[in-house]
Amino acid sequence: MNQTSASTGLVPRLFSQTVTDSDRLFWLLNSGGWISLSVVTYVSLSLPYDQLQFAYIAHNILQSVLGFLLSIPLRQAFKATWNWSATTRVIIAILLILVLATVWAALRLELLIVIAGETDLWDDFGGFLFPSLFVFLAWVALYHLVKYAQLLQSERESLLVLEAGRRKEAFKLVSAESAAREAQLKLLRYQLNPHFLFNTLNSIASLVSAHRSDDAQSMIAELSTFLRFSLETDRNITVPLRDEIEALDLYLRIEQVRFSDRLVVEQEIDPRALREQVPSLLLQPLVENAIKHAIGRAEDGGRILITVKLSDQELVVTVEDSGSGGEEKQPQLDQLFDAPGFGLRSTAERLENLYGDSFSFNAGTSRLGGLKLALHLPTRGRRR
């Protein structure tokens, strides 16, 4: 049976191949059907009635050839009216069955008279007509059965193509969103380096102005080590906490040159947390904020306490300072973001891009007397 264009979404090459296969299937099934009719007629009529003469066998073969030829315009008629209404197609099918069955019955009868020399057969025309009606009714039923099976298969292939296309587009969208999110994370990460470098160079300039050349040289050396470490981890959005602590220690050595014994840093790190993945350069902006707004303003310097605790649900990172020694009220986190500076705001944006709503970042009063910044990050099993 011929494949129609009822199913959309198949590419032209696939549709063309389907049409070719469909035509081949029609000729195969149609030829096989009429050959099978000759075999059935021979077994059910010729053998039982001892009609084994050449004339009867030739009649048996030729009537199937005539039926085969009559089925060709029948197929063309169904193809031409396939998109018409169902009622109209049923009426046309009934009329065509009646007409072609009548024609085929008449041709079979006349052929038997001519070849076998039979006489007075027209009185038994009904005996030829009713089997002819059954044969063409079966032909029409099988035609539509195969036709709808082909359409169902074609529709299934079309849906598979559409589904594959949707999945491909969805994958592209997810990949694009992932790439955009990764690019934004890296952009925020890259912006930290110039920010940190600017502040460090200002510190070096201050040391030079104060004629502390040895300290300035030491800070330059530590800065070089820190930047080298930063470049080595530049491609990583997240790193093990162990590496993050190492990067923080490099940064603190730089600040230690500047503040000497005025800066005291304590760390309380849960050893189980060292393998947890965290955003690279996560701690440095938090510690820098404490140094800038607390230690740097305190006449006698101060303390910074870094605490990391791990539970089954989250990783809690806190940075506390001893304050600037004044009586000012500790600012809220949104006030810190509104204040001049980039580090804390960038950290919050990076965490939001990486964890969505699965993290919290808040500020409060430290037991040391200054500000306490607390990060609650999901562990690997709870990340989105």
Would you kindly state where each structural domain of the chain is located, as residue ranges?
Answer: 12-171, 212-382
The 8 Å CB, 24+ separation contacts for 94-101 are: 96/136, 96/140, 97/133, 97/136, 97/137, 97/140, 98/133, 100/70, 100/74, 100/136, 101/129, 101/132, 101/133, 101/135, 101/136, 101/137
Among positive and negative, which fits the CA dihedral 343, 345, 346, 352?
Answer: positive
Task: Tell me which of 3.20.20.10, 3.40.50.970, 3.40.630.10, 3.30.565.10 is the CATH number of domain 212-382.
Answer: 3.30.565.10
Q: Which residues pair with 315 in a beta bridge?
A: 310, 377
pLDDT over 80 (residue 168) = yes
Question: Quick one: pLDDT band at residue 291, thresholds 50, 70, 90?
Answer: confident
Is the model more confident about 180 or about 92?
Answer: 92
Average pLDDT over residues 64-85: 91
In a 3-state reduction of DSSP, which class is residue 370?
Answer: coil
The 8 Å CB, 24+ separation contacts for 202-209 are: 203/254, 203/255, 203/258, 206/258, 207/257, 207/258
What whole-number distance in Å separates Cα of residue 205 and Cα of residue 101?
108
Q: Which amino acid is at 247?
A: A
As given in the structure block, the two tokens for residue 302 are: 């101060």
Is the model more confident about 260 or about 362?
Answer: 362
pLDDT at 157: 86
pLDDT over 50 (residue 8) = no
Q: Which residues pair with 310 in a beta bridge?
A: 315
Among positive and negative, which fits the CA dihedral 233, 235, 237, 240?
Answer: negative
What whole-number distance in Å separates Cα of residue 65 and Cα of residue 31?
9
What whole-number distance in Å separates Cα of residue 66 and Cα of residue 25?
20
What whole-number distance in Å separates Cα of residue 9 and Cα of residue 18?
13
What whole-number distance in Å separates Cα of residue 65 and Cα of residue 33?
11
What whole-number distance in Å separates Cα of residue 141 and Cα of residue 68?
16
pLDDT at 211: 82
pTM of the model: 0.51
pLDDT at 95: 95
Highest mean pLDDT among 37-41, 129-133, 305-309, 365-369: 305-309
Beta strands at 360-365 and 302-310: parallel, antiparallel or unpaired: unpaired
- What lies within 8 Å, CB to CB, of 100 at 6+ separation is 70, 74, 136
Q: How many CA atoms lie within 13 A of 42 on its CB side?
A: 17
Q: How many CA atoms lie within 13 A of 91 on its CB side?
A: 5
Tell me which of 11-15, 27-31, 301-305 is least confident. 11-15
Counting residues of the chain whose pLDDT is more than 70, the rounded percentage is 80
pLDDT at 140: 93
Closest CA to 212 of 200, 225, 221, 203: 203
Tell me which of 110-119, 178-187, 224-233, 319-328 is least confident. 178-187
